[in-house]
Structure 1
């Protein structure tokens, strides 16, 4: 007697998006970094605390906004910088490791299209960034260094937009790089300088006019400035403007990332 519940020989219509495969890939990437949480979550949390301790002592106490304690000004930028770096690292290392180990073939042969791969990996990078933020926030709040945000919506919006942008860049970097040295070049000479020169440790109002223009062209500045606004209620740029700029950047980056995945650039060779 045949069990009709098995639906043998019946083709299942996946649809425009393979949601089951997308969720499975996302879950795989989340488990990949949570299995080594001491390295991926705890270490960035401790690094943020060390930055707070060292830079609050070493840097000019008047580097932030007038009337705001420097450590209060400093902390949101440090947390966002850690979120961005870890979002980038999660996705870039995933593709780089898969290419080196040869397991990228399994991903390409799976019932996943470029849109599913893009969404699953970037959301996993965003998730790691949010985990780093949560851990850092809880530690600094417990120590009395950081208070609850004044604008919860803006906090979530800028965290997601910033983490998504860096996760997408991390995916493209992981696809482009053919060895870990090349990936380190992007991280050390592009991502970190942009993060450090985006107003993390100072208000860009202190910069000369010529350098202000450069700072305003840095999308990471808007992520850091936006998160600072959500905690302090003040910022160098309008949060609405910053959010729109990040949205446009994410659309462009997402479209370019989708095109790279669809073309198979440095993945099928």
Structure 2
């Protein structure tokens, strides 16, 4: 690949790898600087979810899809925590930068719109991956829940992180203040996450609710993670892979288009 110089920046081919790496590193350092809030708190929350649901419902619930209730619950909690953190990383970074007026520091360097999108997404993916590994280790040590199909689990964790990181960019670009960002989180992201089969099998739902759930892409992330960990699922993992890949691609393209236009980013 030919090396070229553009605007004083070392490039290899058409990609500003140094700039992309720098933006990605900034996003990773940003959440690592407050790791007790960005990594520690989600782990405590996930543990509390598992503990409370197991104590309150577990003894009466019995097995779900042939699995103990706590084991059935664990992959859903893992994926829900991963996607919430991936979304929070990109959305908070961009909203804060817009409100402080420092978004120009990202827009001015010689980075293409796609490079900026990938840089932000990389931070969200790393945060989601760190959370997934920590919860996965906890599942193995505390609950004795291993991973039946590691490749499937990894694919859905990565897809979930990319999808929600991209959705976080979309939400943050659209929002011009914290109230709007909170509304998007509370009335769109949280309901989609909670009504996605995290705490139950959709087979127990009425037919209408089952149909609506199949239109929720986060359901396929939860279901795919459960298949990767336990080997059981409500739908085909291949269908989930197709839906999640399509949704993620559409979100990334929308992010690229909005960055290219400077939509709600440039004054």
Could you state the TM-score of these two structures normalised by the residue count of structure 2? Answer: 0.93
CA contact (8 A) 2:139 2:146 kept: no
Helix, strand or coil for the counterpart of 2:251?
helix
Shift of 1:70: 0.4
Deviations 1:3-54 (A, max 9, x none): xxxx9x9885564211110011000100000111100001100100000000
Structure 1 CA distance for aligned equivalents of residues 44 and 8 of structure 2: 53
Counterpart mapping for 1:17-36 below 5 A = 17-36=15-34
CA contact (8 A) 2:85 2:124 kept: yes
Shift of 1:100: 1.2
Structure 1 CA distance for aligned equivalents of residues 103 and 91 of structure 2: 13
Shift of 1:147: 2.0
Shift of 1:266: 0.9
Structure 1 CA distance for aligned equivalents of residues 99 and 255 of structure 2: 20
Residue 250 (structure 2) aligned to one of 249, 252, 267: 252
Structure 2 partner of 1:220: 218
Shift of 1:136: 1.6
CA contact (8 A) 2:148 2:231 kept: yes
Helix, strand or coil for the counterpart of 1:243?
helix
Deviations 1:76-119 (A, max 9, x none): 00010000000000000000111111111111111111100111
CA contact (8 A) 1:64 1:203 kept: no
Deviations 1:104-161 (A, max 9, x none): 1111111111100111111110110011111122233222x14220101000100011
Structure 1, unaligned runs of 5 or more: 1-6
Structure 1 partner of 2:181: 183
Structure 1 partner of 2:106: 107
Counterpart mapping for 1:116-155 below 5 A = 116-143=115-142, 145-155=143-153
Deviations 1:160-185 (A, max 9, x none): 11111100000111111111111011
Structure 2 CA distance for aligned equivalents of residues 157 and 10 of structure 1: 37
Helix, strand or coil for the counterpart of 1:225?
helix
Helix, strand or coil for the counterpart of 1:198?
coil
Helix, strand or coil for the counterpart of 1:68?
coil
Structure 2 partner of 1:49: 47
Residues 243/64 of structure 1: CA separation in 2 closer, same or farther (3 Å cut): farther
Q: Does 1:231 align with 2:229?
A: yes
Could you state the TM-score of these two structures normalised by the residue count of structure 1? Answer: 0.93
Larger radius of gyration: 1
CA contact (8 A) 1:42 1:135 kept: no
CA contact (8 A) 1:63 1:201 kept: no
Structure 2 CA distance for aligned equivalents of residues 140 and 165 of structure 1: 24
Residues 13/243 of structure 1: CA separation in 2 closer, same or farther (3 Å cut): closer
Structure 2 CA distance for aligned equivalents of residues 11 and 23 of structure 1: 13
